[in-house]
């Protein structure tokens, strides 16, 4: 199975997928840590794929999305973005809207807490 086939299977079979450096419990870069931290805090159920464990997937995900950096978030099979985009979407409420529209369960109160903490 090719890297593209593995990626397609993963993003199709999971509502939310984060391709990251490390794992959701042990991120290995600051950008991956930020996105995983947001998803973990908001109690989103997501699959994490450690690109450091598989060089084919590490390059394959960049080719698949035509996006040069990791992490990469997918919701319902669609590429959403990397760290900066997810951060902006979290702070603007767009990520909440995407999760609601996609039927992804998350803790709205915790999402509001993130925004409140960043209003300083």
Annotated binding-site ranges: 29
Binding site, annotated residues for [2Fe-2S] cluster: 29
Q: What are phi and psi of 13, to 5 degrees?
A: -90, 0
| Among candidate residues 31, 33, 61, 36, the one with its CA nearest the CA of residue 46 | 36
Strand-pairing partners, residue 75, are 16, 78
- Within 13 Å and on the Cβ side, how many CA atoms surround 40? 12
Angstrom CA distances, 113 to 11, 26, 41, 55, stand at 28, 23, 10, 37
Please give the biggest Cα pair distance in the chain: 48
């Amino acid at each position: 199975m090719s890297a593209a086939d593995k990626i397609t299977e993963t993003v199709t079979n999971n509502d939310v997928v984060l391709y990251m450096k490390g794992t959701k419990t042990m991120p290995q870069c600051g950008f991956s840590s930020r996105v995983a931290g947001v998803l973990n805090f908001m109690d989103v159920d997501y699959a994490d794929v450690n690109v450091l464990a598989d060089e084919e997937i590490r390059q394959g995900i960049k080719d698949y999305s035509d996006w040069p950096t990791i992490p990469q978030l997918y919701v319902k099979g669609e590429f959403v973005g990397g760290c900066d985009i997810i951060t902006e979407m979290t702070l603007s409420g767009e990520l909440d809207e995407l999760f609601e529209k996609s039927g992804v369960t998350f803790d709205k109160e915790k999402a509001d807490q993130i925004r409140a903490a960043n209003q300083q």
